[in-house]
Amino acid sequence: MAMALQISTFLHQYIYGTTHAAPKSPNAIRFGILSTAMINPAAMIRPAETHPEVEITAIASRDLPSAKKYAAKYRIKNAYGSYDELLGDPTIQAVYISLPNGMHGEWAERALNAGKHVLLEKPLTANASEARRIFEIASAKNLVLLEAFHWQFHPAAHVVHSLVHSGRYGQVMRTYARMTTPAKSIPKSDIRWKYDLAGGSLMDMAYVVSATRYFLDKGVPTQIVSAKARRSPEDGRIDEAMEAELRWENDEVKSKIYADMKRGNVAIVVPRVWELPSIEIECEDAVIYFYNFMMPHLYHHIQVTDKKTGHKTTQKHYNWGPKWGVNSEPWWSTYRYQLEAFADRLQGRQPAHWIDPQDSIDEMQTIDMIYEKSGLGIRHGTSEKTIIAGKQ
């Protein structure tokens, strides 16, 4: 179902990018994009069209004809046949990196060393070690580096967070976050199945870890109680599914996560639409269920069930909320909210929401711990492989 969400968001962003295009400010931030990945239009190009202070001025690919074709399609001024060439462009102030997971650390480091601010696709890096290194560089160079966990910027997420921590429903007892994709919807050639590019269900669907930690306000778990990977038959180093239980010190909350890139349909043909990315948070007095937390701009609902009476209330939030107030629009996607925050930070304003460096490092460390507990071991990035090769 995750792939269906992506396709729906492409259409959503195309419509609103066309109908709400904004004239550019003279001080618009000039962005370059590293890669011609499929996610770019929904995650960056269309949202930028509606933001007066953001302009995409360059695209880079390892193949110049591909970059030129992409640039022509999306009316991007400059096309480069290498990532380094784009990073060498002095007019570019910030870059969006949508390369495969295993390449995030290496190219974020190169971009920061080239003096560019970085919006980096999730998961931030291949592991926590890479995450620490690039944040150290960003801090030393006084540059902005943000992990693109777009869903966290949406008002609906902030509403759920406020419900959980309001005290109205008592202490949290249990959480369960899940995300699945139907079998055969991800081609075997896709980067998600590539070990050398830090693929795997937990890496691709790290949303389940992010949501659990965000709604609990937790950092790194004290313990991974259990972690079971269903290995890909094509490459046993890749998890086509992962389920785990996380526990924090002095905390009785039982937190389970489930990610599956190859989930079977019901009776072979019926997609499990009820398995859109969701999280259930059981408190002492109520159960809070957030359906489609990954892309709530398309559709979501927040259902609160009173445990004593069974009474259910449902709410939806597409703008306003505890953090944004009037500074948002109901047609904004999660990516547009994210871009608003990123642009605010670069322009010297206080963002409505932000993901702190330590939170992103804790996210990667949690993923590392789950992989280690499962027996698969942590993922490695291309920058680390270069270092390892140099020592041999």
Per-residue pLDDT band for 7 (boundaries 50, 70, 90) equals low
pLDDT at residue 290 is higher than 70 = yes
Q: What is the pLDDT of residue 391?
A: 38
Q: How many CB atoms lie within 10 A of CB 378?
A: 17
- Domain architecture of the chain: domains with CATH: 2-151 (3.40.50.720), 156-326+356-373 (3.30.360.10)
Give the C-alpha distances (Å, rounded to integers) separating 29 from 55, 80, 95, 104, 390: 6, 19, 10, 22, 37
Q: What is the pLDDT of residue 184?
A: 79
Per-residue pLDDT band for 326 (boundaries 50, 70, 90) equals confident
What's the pLDDT tens digit per position in 210-238? 999 999 999 999 999 999 999 999 999 99
Compute the Cα dihedral for 317, 46, 212, 166 and give only its sign. Answer: negative
Looking at this protein, which amino acid is placed at residue 22? A
Q: What is the pLDDT of residue 328?
A: 93
Q: What is the pLDDT of residue 389?
A: 41
| Strands in the chain per DSSP E | 29-34, 54-60, 78-80, 94-97, 117-121, 145-148, 172-182, 223-231, 239-247, 254-263, 278-283, 286-291, 301-306, 312-315
- Predicted TM-score (pTM) of this structure: 0.93
More confident residue, 34 or 391: 34
Q: What is the pLDDT of residue 388?
A: 42
> Taking CA 161 as the corner, what is the angle to CA 351 and CA 48, rounded to the nearest 5 degrees?
35
Give the integer Cα–Cα distance in Å for 16 and 9.
Answer: 10
81-85, 157-161, 383-387: which has the minimum mean pLDDT? 383-387
More confident residue, 266 or 185: 185
Annotate 330-377 with DSSP letters as a single string: TT--HHHHHHHHHHHHHTTPPPSS---HHHHHHHHHHHHHHHHHHTS-
Phi, psi of 236 (to 5 degrees): -65, -10
Mean local confidence (pLDDT), 114-125: 98
Q: What is the pLDDT of residue 314?
A: 98
pLDDT at residue 387 is higher than 90 = no
Q: From the candidates 24, 73, 77, 122, which is the catalytic residue?
A: 122
Token code pair at residue 292 = 């489609």
Give the C-alpha distances (Å, rounded to integers) separating 381 from 88, 124, 198, 345: 23, 11, 7, 28
Lateral strand order in the sheet of 145-148: 78-80, 54-60, 29-34, 94-97, 117-121, 145-148
Distance of CA 11 to the CA centre of its chain: 19
Share of the chain above pLDDT 70, in %: 91
Give the integer Cα–Cα distance in Å for 351 and 108.
Answer: 22
256 is known as an active-site residue: no
